[in-house]
């Protein structure tokens, strides 16, 4: 199975439309980072470990907020994302905060392939939160990651758990866990929604929503369903060695209504729903 770049291109248009709406709600992000704000959560930092003076690439980096978090930990950072709007915002954020970073606007598959043909290699490749569901071909993606890592280099992902992604907004079973083989796209005609606005309404329902109101995305979007076994097997088949697999009974963002708000900005299923994994983390290493 080859990456489906036609669907990737449709996703790019949907992300371009949504990104401005998302960032319109977040206020002066540059100021927050200049004042020491940290975008990375404890789960990512634990799996990443000490990245001081390491070359780190954030694949599917969106608008670059986590890039600044990686830089705050001492890394030399590069970000890659398919969305023109996201990369434009990331470059502005880098300039306004004075945090040096390199950004590439590219389909992640194209960037991995082109970079593997060159001389640049990374100590760490990282992706997080809503990254894996946009990948139409896990095997090519995993081989691409192995191709851009230095010997002994590491890959880290923290993402929403596929068990959680089986459920609809009412916490009812709706989607398959995996296609147990090549994933078929699931198309959402309404495109990327304004999940930032939704989370803000959940966490602070009485506060007026800043920025874009009632966002409607004119472009459809296509997601791909992968189970933990699909992801781990792709990494192992690419020659990476698994060093950690974590499952977390909470999430760091509230993408469903009626979630139970915990301490430290975490969210769990609502009352009456048994504990299930809402996030997972994987770390893997390339051989020497």
Count structural domains, the chain. Answer: 1
Share of the chain above pLDDT 90, in %: 72
Tokens 């994994």 appear where? 277
Q: Mean pLDDT across the stretch 96-100?
A: 90
Would you say 166 and 176 are in contact if contact means Cβ atoms under 8 Å apart? yes
Which distant-in-sequence residues (6+ apart) come within 8 Å of 48 by Cβ? 40, 70, 73, 124, 126, 156
Residue 192 to residue 215: CA distance in whole angstroms: 10
What's the average model confidence in pLDDT over 19-25?
85
Question: Please, what is the average pLDDT of the chain?
Answer: 92
Confidence of residue 1 (pLDDT cuts 50, 70, 90): low
pLDDT at 150 > cutoff 70: yes
Helix (H) / strand (E) containing 111: helix 108-117
| Range 67-95 average pLDDT | 94
Q: Tell me, what's the pLDDT at 199?
A: 80
CA dist 63 and 55 (Å) reads 19
Q: Which residues make Cβ contacts (< 8 Å) with residue 142, sequence separation at least 6?
A: 234, 235, 237, 238, 240
Neighbours of 224 (CB within 10 A): 20
Sheet (strand 122-128) strand order: 102-105, 76-81, 55-59, 122-128, 149-160, 279-286, 240-248
Indicate whether 232 pLDDT > 70.
yes
- Quick one: pLDDT at residue 202? 76
Determine which of 51-55, 244-248, 259-263 has the lowest per-residue pLDDT on average.
Answer: 259-263
User: Own/partner pairs for 204-211, CB < 8 Å, 24+ apart?
Assistant: 209/25, 210/24, 210/25, 210/27, 211/21, 211/23, 211/24, 211/25, 211/26
- Where residue 146 falls among pLDDT bands split at 50, 70, 90? very high
Residue 105 has pLDDT above 90, yes or no: yes
pLDDT band at residue 288 under the 50/70/90 scheme: confident
* pLDDT at residue 29 greater than cutoff 80: no
Q: In whole angstroms, give the CA distance from residue 252 to residue 134.
A: 20
For residues 30 and 97, the answer to whether their CB atoms sit within 8 Å is: yes
Give residue-wise pLDDT tens across range 178-214. 999 888 899 999 999 888 778 887 777 778 888 888 8
Q: What is the CATH number of the domain that holds 265?
A: 3.40.50.150
Res 257 pLDDT > 80: no
CA distance 242 to 144: 16
CA dist., res. 280 & res. 285, Å (int): 17
Alpha-carbon dihedral 33, 36, 42, 48, rounded to 10 degrees: 80
Residue range(s) defining the domain that contains residue 195:
5-286
- Confidence grade of residue 20 (pLDDT, cut at 50, 70, 90): confident
Report residue 276 as tokens. Answer: 């299930």
* Burial profile 17-42: b = 16 or more Cβ within 10 angstroms, e = fewer: bbbbbbbbbeeebbebbeeeeebbbe
- CA dist 49 and 201 (Å) reads 33
Q: Is the dihedral of CA 138, 21, 270, 188 positive or negative?
A: negative
**Cα 208–214–220 angle (5° rounding)?**
145
Q: What would the pLDDT profile of 34-80 be if each residue is shown by its tens digit?
A: 777 777 999 999 999 999 999 999 999 999 889 989 998 999 999 99
Of 6-15, 21-30, 160-169, the poorest mean pLDDT is in: 21-30
């Amino acid at each position: 199975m080859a990456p489906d770049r036609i669907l990737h291109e449709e996703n790019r248009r949907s992300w371009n439309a949504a990104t401005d709406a998302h960032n319109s709600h977040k206020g002066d992000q540059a100021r927050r980072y200049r004042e020491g704000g940290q975008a990375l959560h404890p789960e990512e930092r634990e799996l990443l470990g000490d990245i001081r003076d390491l070359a780190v690439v954030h694949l599917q980096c969106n608008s670059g907020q986590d890039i600044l978090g990686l830089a705050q930990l001492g890394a030399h950072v590069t970000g890659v994302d398919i969305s023109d709007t996201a990369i434009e915002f990331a470059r502005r954020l880098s300039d306004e905060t004075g945090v040096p970073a390199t950004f590439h606007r590219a389909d992640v598959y194209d960037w991995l392939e082109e970079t593997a043909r060159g001389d640049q290699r990374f100590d760490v490749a990282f992706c997080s939160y809503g990254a894996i569901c946009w990948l139409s071909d896990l095997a090519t993606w995993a081989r691409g990651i192995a191709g851009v890592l230095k010997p002994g280099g590491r890959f880290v992902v923290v993402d929403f758990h596929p068990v959680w992604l089986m459920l609809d907004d009412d916490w009812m079973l709706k989607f398959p866990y995996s296609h147990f083989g090549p994933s078929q796209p699931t198309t959402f005609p309404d495109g990327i929604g304004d999940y930032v606005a939704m989370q803000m309404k959940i966490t602070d329902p009485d506060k007026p929503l800043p920025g874009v109101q009632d966002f409607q995305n004119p472009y459809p979007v296509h997601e791909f369903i992968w189970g933990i076994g699909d992801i781990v097997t792709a990494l192992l088949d690419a020659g990476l060695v698994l060093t950690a697999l974590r499952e977390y009974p909470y999430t760091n963002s509230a993408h469903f209504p009626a979630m139970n708000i915990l301490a430290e900005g975490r969210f769990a299923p609502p009352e009456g729903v048994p504990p299930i994994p809402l996030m997972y983390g994987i770390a893997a290493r390339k051989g020497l």
